[in-house]
């Protein structure tokens, strides 16, 4: 049943103590990678672990409730990783129970009685041909769970209330776990008289009689005769066999059944060997998530496993705090503003530590969260990456002093470390990809430069050849080399990393290009290059690769348009004021015959150029795309005395050190 602010009833997913020897045995089975059946036998022999596994397997986290009827089925549904984490966290939770010597003795006696009842129920179910002996065993282990709740309860009035209502508590819990109405009735009527259950269902009779036989008194023998018509001799034989089975298991676990029981040695072993393992295993499962939203969503399951209480997770974004995951029910669509910090949730997000719902009047948002959690109180724990909060975990609690808080705080701190680690790994991965891409771009540039030089030498060789056929062949070779160069440059440009612009001094990019041109395009002596760079800073925001590509394309076009020779000028001016903004101007001018009419009519779109009928004029269209990508402007003036391209790049301030976009 669900805990509310108006009831003092236990939550369905209970945090109950186990004998440390049983917990250790279950952990050893997990470490040894034993089968589900072997692990299930250990878990099923402990009321606390069985209840925990059953409640979780029948929760909304793992599908529809009411489909699990045994511990082994529950373990199969949960899966290996979840089972191991669950048992590990049960052991960790065990360390929080502050039981006295008398209480540990009572817990040992409780375990012996529960196991005896369960084994008896299974034996009777087999003997009387009940269709599911494992179900009878499970209910036998859980039948007096109210007594276990009372054992760990400090408030004497509440303790007595649990003891008085333990049959009803067991029925309610069984029903909430989806075990069905017949199972709930078996728990509810476990203390009814034999006469009252004479015509009750088979399962009710099994649990009722098993609880009586586990007490080893004459009343149990008499009840066996009346309920199932079992002879006294057969009943004695069943009891002796069950007693021997319980004693054998206790001996293998080093649990004394007749002497004083001291739990401290077992608790010490748990304390020294399991805390670090618990946190490490949880951290490993979380670290495998690819991003922060996945980590926050996964954390809900982890925190629910760890504390046994309902949990919510919120992720931080531009819109505020968004509900990412919930451990129970459907995920509601919920986005709340992260400021101002009035509620428990927003206070935790704004701070660096957990915040608890105190006795002050809760805000409307606090009440909404209480409704989603179904608990009397809750605490909010920030999840941080370094000093920045990236989300908040909200844990339902039974009170402001709930011991789950300390465990949840430990979990949230470990989770924050995992988030920080995931961010660092993501940044390292981005850096590695960027480095690889930069290396590719460098190699493409190294390949494209020699191709440009080869093209120029082919051009010079062509002018020296008199055979028209050879000249045509050289034209084809030069055109294909140019096509390959353009493809290489586009491969280097079409990448997400190219959208990250650098702060560039345009003049510094033009100087090495001019040296390259002098050695290649202008090496024949018929064409000259004039470099006229302004003295003022020419800071722009752009891609160095794009700058080089557009300048090479325009200069190469200019040279090839002047086969008889001429002049090409590169000139910069800064700043240029236009439309109220400052720009850096780049002018590329030649003294050639001007652009032909068909190119002028479709300027900056692919057309057939003056370079030959076999070449598709992609150069100017690529230039336009590159300039548009840097939010620049290009214009052209052409005539009989030459062609001038004027390019304006947005100018960045001298002291602007962050112009990436």
The DSSP H or E segment spanning 323 is strand 320-326
Tokens of 65: 């409730």
Tell me, yes or no, whether 583 and 657 share the same domain: yes
Tell me, yes or no, whether 320 and 401 share the same domain: yes
Tell me, yes or no, whether 213 and 309 share the same domain: no
Tokens of 291: 């991003």
466-525 pLDDT tens trace: 666 666 666 656 665 665 665 565 555 544 444 457 889 999 999 988 887 887 788 777
Tell me, yes or no, whether 397 and 422 share the same domain: yes
User: Which CATH number characterizes residue 590's domain?
Assistant: 3.30.565.10
473 is a domain residue: no
Tell me, yes or no, whether 263 and 297 share the same domain: no
User: Which CATH number characterizes residue 260's domain?
Assistant: 1.10.3210.10
Tell me, yes or no, whether 352 and 257 share the same domain: no
Q: Quickly tell me which residue has 């103590």 as its tokens.
A: 17
Residue ranges making up the domain that contains 336:
289-427
Q: Are 164 and 99 in contact (CB under 8 A)?
A: no
28 is a domain residue: yes
pLDDT beyond 60 at 655: no
For CA atoms 457, 458, 459, 462, the dihedral sign is positive
9 is a domain residue: no
Q: Which of 401, 427, 453 is the last residue of a domain?
A: 427
Rg of the chain on CA atoms, in Å: 40
User: Which CATH number characterizes residue 309's domain?
Assistant: 3.30.450.40
117 is a domain residue: yes
Q: Is-cis flag, bond preceding 310, omega within 30? A: no
Q: SS3 for 194-220, per residue?
A: CCCCCCCCHHHHHHHHHHHHCCCCHHH
Contacts of 570 (CB under 8 A, 6+ apart): 510, 514, 529, 530, 531, 532, 533, 551, 555, 586, 587, 588
pLDDT beyond 90 at 611: no
Tell me, yes or no, whether 244 and 307 share the same domain: no
d(C-alpha 14, C-alpha 152), whole Å: 11
pLDDT of residue 287: 43
Tell me, yes or no, whether 208 and 148 share the same domain: yes
**Closest Cα partner for 93 from 49, 144, 33, 56?**
49
492 is a domain residue: no
Tell me, yes or no, whether 26 and 75 share the same domain: yes
Tell me, yes or no, whether 338 and 380 share the same domain: yes
Tell me, yes or no, whether 316 and 264 share the same domain: no
280 is a domain residue: no
pLDDT of residue 517: 83
Please state which of the ranges 123-127, 142-146, 420-424, 484-488 shows the lowest mean pLDDT: 484-488
Q: What is the DSSP letter of 60?
A: G
5 is a domain residue: no
Q: Which of 410, 427, 444 is the last residue of a domain?
A: 427
Arithmetic mean of pLDDT, 607-621: 48
451 is a domain residue: no
Arithmetic mean of pLDDT, 316-333: 86
Tell me, yes or no, whether 508 and 406 share the same domain: no
Residue 356: beta bridge partners? 379
Q: Which of 427, 453, 478 is the last residue of a domain?
A: 427
Question: In 465-564, which residue ranges form alpha helices assigned H by DSSP?
Answer: 468-493, 506-519, 544-560
Residue 281 CA from chain centroid, whole number? 16
Residue 180 CA from chain centroid, whole number? 35
Q: Are 378 and 370 in contact (CB under 8 A)?
A: yes
Work out how many domains the chain is built from and give that number.
3
If you average pLDDT over every residue of the chain, what do you get? 79
Query: What is the pTM (predicted TM-score) of this model?
Result: 0.49
């Amino acid at each position: 049943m669900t805990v509310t602010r108006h009831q003092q009833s236990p939550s369905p997913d209970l945090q109950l103590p186990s004998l440390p020897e049983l917990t250790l045995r279950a952990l050893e089975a997990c470490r040894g990678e034993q089968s589900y059946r072997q692990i299930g036998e250990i878990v099923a022999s402990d009321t606390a672990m069985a209840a925990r596994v059953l409640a979780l397997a029948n929760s909304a986290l793992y599908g529809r409730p009411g489909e699990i009827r045994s511990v082994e089925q529950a373990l199969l549904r949960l899966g290996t990783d979840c089972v191991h984490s669950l048992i590990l966290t049960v052991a960790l939770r065990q360390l929080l129970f502050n039981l006295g010597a008398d209480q540990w003795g009572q817990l040992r006696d409780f375990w012996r009685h529960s196991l005896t009842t369960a084994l008896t129920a299974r034996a009777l179910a087999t003997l009387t041909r009940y269709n599911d002996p494992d179900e009878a065993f499970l209910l036998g282990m859980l039948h007096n769970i109210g007594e276990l709740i009372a054992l760990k309860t400090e408030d004497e009035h509440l303790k007595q209330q649990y003891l008085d209502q333990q049959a009803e508590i067991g029925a309610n819990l069984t029903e909430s776990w989806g075990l069905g109405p017949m199972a709930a009735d078996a728990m509810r009527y476990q203390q009814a008289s034999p006469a009252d259950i004479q015509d009750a269902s088979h399962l009710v009779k099994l649990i009722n009689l098993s609880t009586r036989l586990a007490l080893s008194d004459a009343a149990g023998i008499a009840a066996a005769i009346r309920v199932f018509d079992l002879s006294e001799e057969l009943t004695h034989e069943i009891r002796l066999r069950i007693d021997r089975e319980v004693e054998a298991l206790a001996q293998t676990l080093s649990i004394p059944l007749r002497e004083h029981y001291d739990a401290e040695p077992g608790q010490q072993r748990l304390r020294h060997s399991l805390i670090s393992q618990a946190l490490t295993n949880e951290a490993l499962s979380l670290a495998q998530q690819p991003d922060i939203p996945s980590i926050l969503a996964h954390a809900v399951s982890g925190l629910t496993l760890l504390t046994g209480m309902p949990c919510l997770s919120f992720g931080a974004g531009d819109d505020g705090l968004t509900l990412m995951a919930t451990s129970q029910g459907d995920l509601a669509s919920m986005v709340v503003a992260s400021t101002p910090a009035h509620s428990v949730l927003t206070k935790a997000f704004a701070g660096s530590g957990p915040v608890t719902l105190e006795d002050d009047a809760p805000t409307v948002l606090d009440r909404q969260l209480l409704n989603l959690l179904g608990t009397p109180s809750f605490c909010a724990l920030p999840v941080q990456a370094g000093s920045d909060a990236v989300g908040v975990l909200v844990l339902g609690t039974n009170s402001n002093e709930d011991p789950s808080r300390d465990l949840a705080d430990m979990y949230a701190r470990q989770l924050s470390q995992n988030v920080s680690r995931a961010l660092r790994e993501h940044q390292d991965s981005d850096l590695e990809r960027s480095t690889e891409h930069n290396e590719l771009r460098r190699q493409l540039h190294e390949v494209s430069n020699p191709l440009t030089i080869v093209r120029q030498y082919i051009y010079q060789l062509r002018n020296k050849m008199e055979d028209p056929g050879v000249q045509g062949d050289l034209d084809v070779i030069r055109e294909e080399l140019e096509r390959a160069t353009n493809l290489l440059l586009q491969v280097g440009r079409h990448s997400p990393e190219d959208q990250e612009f650098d702060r560039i001094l345009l003049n510094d990019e033009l100087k090495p290009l001019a040296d390259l041109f002098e050695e290649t395009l202008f090496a024949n002596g018929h064409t000259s290059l004039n470099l006229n760079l302004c003295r003022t800073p020419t800071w722009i925001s752009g891609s160095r690769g794009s700058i080089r590509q557009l300048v090479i394309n325009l200069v190469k076009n200019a040279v090839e348009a002047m086969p008889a020779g001429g002049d090409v000028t590169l000139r910069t001016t800064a700043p240029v004021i236009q439309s109220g903004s400052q720009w850096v101007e780049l002018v590329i001018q030649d003294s050639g015959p001007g652009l032909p009419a068909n190119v002028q009519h479709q300027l900056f779109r692919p057309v057939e150029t003056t370079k030959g009928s076999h070449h598709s004029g992609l150069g100017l269209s690529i230039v336009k795309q590159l300039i548009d990508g840097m939010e620049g402007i290009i214009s052209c003036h052409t005539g009989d005395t030459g062609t001038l391209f004027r390019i304006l790049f947005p100018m960045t301030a001298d002291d602007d050190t962050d112009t990436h976009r």
